[in-house]
Amino acid sequence: MKKIISILLAVMLVVSVAAVSVNAYGSDGDYSKLSPGSSYDPSDSYTVDDNTPTCEEAILACGGDLNNVQKIYFQLPLADPKQDGSDWVNQYNTDADGNCQICVYWWGGTAGSASDGWPSGKGCTWVGYRTKLIDKENRIYEATVPADGNTPLIIWNNGVNGGMDETKPIFKFGRQLADANIEGAYEGDYDPYLPEGTPNEDNMDGCIQIIDYTRSTINPLTQIPAYESNWYIYYGDGCYGNYKTDSPNYHGKHSSCVNPEHLANPDKYHPTPGDVNYDKEVDINDVLYIQQYLAGYELKEDEFNKNNADVDGDGYISIIDATRIQRYLAHFCNIDGTKPYTG
Q: How far apart (Å, rounded) are the C-alpha atoms in residues 240 and 231?
A: 9
Report long-range pairs for 288-296 (Cβ below 8 Å, ≥24 apart): 290/317, 290/319, 290/321, 290/322, 290/325, 291/319, 291/322, 293/317, 294/318, 294/319, 294/322
What is the pLDDT, as a whole number, of residue 297? 92
For the beta carbon of residue 7, count every other beta carbon within 10 angstroms: 11
* Peptide bond connecting 266 to the previous residue in cis, omega within 30 degrees of 0: no
Superfamily of domain 271-329: Dockerin domain (1.10.1330.10)
pLDDT in tens, the chain (343 residues): 344 334 434 434 343 333 333 223 332 333 344 433 445 565 555 788 887 889 999 899 888 899 999 999 999 998 877 776 678 999 889 988 899 999 999 988 899 988 777 777 777 877 889 999 999 999 999 999 999 888 889 999 999 987 777 888 888 888 889 888 888 777 776 677 788 888 777 789 999 999 998 888 777 776 777 889 999 999 999 999 999 988 888 877 777 899 999 988 876 777 788 999 888 889 999 999 999 999 999 888 778 888 899 998 888 999 999 999 999 999 999 998 999 998 7
Helix (H) or strand (E) holding 229: strand 225-236
Angle at 303 between CA 302 and CA 309, to 5 degrees: 105
Give the end-to-end CA distance of the chain in Å, rounded to a whole number. Answer: 49
Count other Cβ atoms within 10 Å, centred on residue 86. Answer: 16
Q: Taking CA 57 as the corner, what is the angle to CA 56 and CA 61, rounded to the nearest 5 degrees?
A: 120
* Contact present, 257 and 240 (Cβ < 8 Å): yes
Specify whether the CB–CB gap between 203 and 70 falls below 8 A. yes
Give the CA distances from residue 75 to residues 11, 128, 130, 309, in Å, rounded to whole numbers and listed in that order: 25, 18, 14, 26
- CB of 177 closer than 8 Å to CB of 226: yes
The number of CA neighbours under 13 Å toward the Cβ of 167 is: 2
Sheet of strand 153-157: strand arrangement: 129-130, 103-107, 153-157, 180-181
The boundaries of every CATH 1.10.1330.10 domain in the chain are 271-329
**pLDDT at residue 217, rounded to an integer:** 79
